[in-house]
Amino acid sequence: MLEDGIVFSGIGFGYPSEIAGEVVFNTGMVGYTETLTDPSYRGQILCMTYPLVGNYGVPSFDVKDEYGLPKFFESDRIQVKALLIHDLSDVASHWSCVKTLDQWLYEQKIPGIYGIDTRELTKKLRVHGVMMGAIAVSDKGPVDDARMRKLVSGAKYEGLNFMPEVSTSKPQEYGDKDRPCVVLLDTGTKYSIIRNIIRTGFRVVRMPWDAPYEQIMSYDPKGVVISNGPGDPKVCTSTIKTATKLIKTSTPTLGICLGNQILALAGGADTYKLKFGHRGQNKPCVDLRNMQSYVTSQNHGYGIDPESLDGTGFKVWFANADDDTVEGIEHSSKPVIAVQFHPEASPGPYDCMFVFDRFKQIIDAGGRITDGVKAREKPKKKVTAEKKKKTTRKKEGRKVAKR
List pLDDT tens digits, range 125-148. Answer: 999 999 999 999 999 889 999 999
373 Cβ neighbours under 8 A, 6+ residues apart: 287, 289, 290, 292
342 is catalytic: yes
- Alpha carbon separation from 369 to 250, 257, 357 (Å, rounded): 10, 20, 13
Residue where a domain terminates, one of 135, 153, 171? 153
* CATH code, 187: 3.40.50.880
Q: How far apart are the first and last CA of the chain?
A: 58
The annotation status of 299 as a binding-site residue, yes or no, is: yes
Judge whether residue 266 has pLDDT over 90.
yes
- What confidence score (pLDDT) does residue 373 get? 59
With respect to residue 375, please indicate whether it lies within any of the assigned structural domains. Answer: no
φ, ψ (nearest 5 deg) of residue 347 = -95, 170
Q: In this structure, are 83 and 193 located in the same domain?
A: no
Q: In this structure, are 65 and 191 located in the same domain?
A: no
Domain encompassing residue 230:
163-364
Q: In this structure, are 103 and 172 located in the same domain?
A: no
Q: In this structure, are 68 and 94 located in the same domain?
A: yes
- What confidence score (pLDDT) does residue 401 get? 42
The mean pLDDT of the chain is 93
With respect to residue 26, please indicate whether it lies within any of the assigned structural domains. Answer: yes
The amino acid at residue 82 is A
The annotation status of 332 as a binding-site residue, yes or no, is: no
Judge whether residue 82 has pLDDT over 90.
yes
- What confidence score (pLDDT) does residue 402 get? 42
Q: How far apart are CA 359 and CA 219, in angstroms?
A: 19
Q: In this structure, are 107 and 219 located in the same domain?
A: no
257 is catalytic: yes
Judge whether residue 395 has pLDDT over 50.
no
β-pair partners for 70? 64
* CATH code, 143: 3.50.30.20
- What confidence score (pLDDT) does residue 367 get? 75
With respect to residue 332, please indicate whether it lies within any of the assigned structural domains. Answer: yes
Closest Cα to residue 180, out of 252, 106, 78, 113? 252
With respect to residue 188, please indicate whether it lies within any of the assigned structural domains. Answer: yes
110 Cβ neighbours under 8 A, 6+ residues apart: 14, 15, 78, 80, 81, 82, 83
- Strands (E) in 137-235, as ranges, are 172-174, 181-186, 203-208, 223-226
- What confidence score (pLDDT) does residue 371 get? 73
The annotation status of 40 as a binding-site residue, yes or no, is: yes
- What confidence score (pLDDT) does residue 392 get? 47
Q: In this structure, are 191 and 337 located in the same domain?
A: yes
The annotation status of 361 as a binding-site residue, yes or no, is: no
Q: In this structure, are 196 and 324 located in the same domain?
A: yes
Q: How far apart are CA 308 and CA 263, in angstroms?
A: 13
- What confidence score (pLDDT) does residue 396 get? 43
Q: What is the DSSP letter of 382?
A: P
- What confidence score (pLDDT) does residue 261 get? 98
- Alpha carbon separation from 152 to 23, 134, 221, 356 (Å, rounded): 11, 6, 45, 41
Alpha helices in 108-153 (DSSP H): 118-128, 145-153
Q: In this structure, are 236 and 331 located in the same domain?
A: yes
Judge whether residue 185 has pLDDT over 90.
yes
φ, ψ (nearest 5 deg) of residue 18 = -125, 130
Q: In this structure, are 184 and 333 located in the same domain?
A: yes
- What confidence score (pLDDT) does residue 115 get? 98
- What confidence score (pLDDT) does residue 372 get? 62
Mapped onto helix, strand or coil, the DSSP state of residue 167 is: coil
- What confidence score (pLDDT) does residue 398 get? 44
With respect to residue 395, please indicate whether it lies within any of the assigned structural domains. Answer: no
pLDDT per position as a tens digit, 50-71: 999 999 999 999 999 999 999 9
**What's this model's pTM, rounded to 2 decimal places?**
0.91
| 8 A C-beta contact, residue 50 and residue 29 | yes
User: How many domains does the chain contain in total?
Assistant: 2
- What confidence score (pLDDT) does residue 400 get? 38
Q: In this structure, are 98 and 232 located in the same domain?
A: no
236, 285, 342, 352: the active-site residue: 342
- What confidence score (pLDDT) does residue 88 get? 98
β-pair partners for 171? none
Least confident among 10-14, 75-79, 272-276, 371-375:
371-375
Per-residue pLDDT band at 381 (split at 50, 70, 90): very low
DSSP assignments along 247-285, one per residue: HHTT--EEEETHHHHHHHHHTT--EEEEEEEEEEEEEEE
Mapped onto helix, strand or coil, the DSSP state of residue 111 is: strand
With respect to residue 378, please indicate whether it lies within any of the assigned structural domains. Answer: no
181, 236, 257, 285: the active-site residue: 257
With respect to residue 266, please indicate whether it lies within any of the assigned structural domains. Answer: yes
- What confidence score (pLDDT) does residue 7 get? 96
The annotation status of 301 as a binding-site residue, yes or no, is: yes
Average the pLDDT over 253-257 and give the result.
98
With respect to residue 245, please indicate whether it lies within any of the assigned structural domains. Answer: yes
Residue where a domain terminates, one of 124, 153, 182? 153
Q: What is the DSSP letter of 308?
A: G
Per-residue pLDDT band at 375 (split at 50, 70, 90): very low
| 8 A C-beta contact, residue 345 and residue 294 | no
- What confidence score (pLDDT) does residue 394 get? 45
278 is catalytic: no
Per-residue pLDDT band at 368 (split at 50, 70, 90): confident
Comparing 369 with 211, the larger pLDDT belongs to: 211
The amino acid at residue 283 is K
Q: How far apart are CA 163 and CA 240, in angstroms?
A: 13
Q: In this structure, are 190 and 331 located in the same domain?
A: yes
Q: What is the DSSP letter of 307?
A: G
Q: In this structure, are 38 and 138 located in the same domain?
A: yes
5 Cβ neighbours under 8 A, 6+ residues apart: 149
74, 330, 344, 352: the active-site residue: 344
pLDDT per position as a tens digit, 305-331: 999 999 999 999 999 999 999 999 999
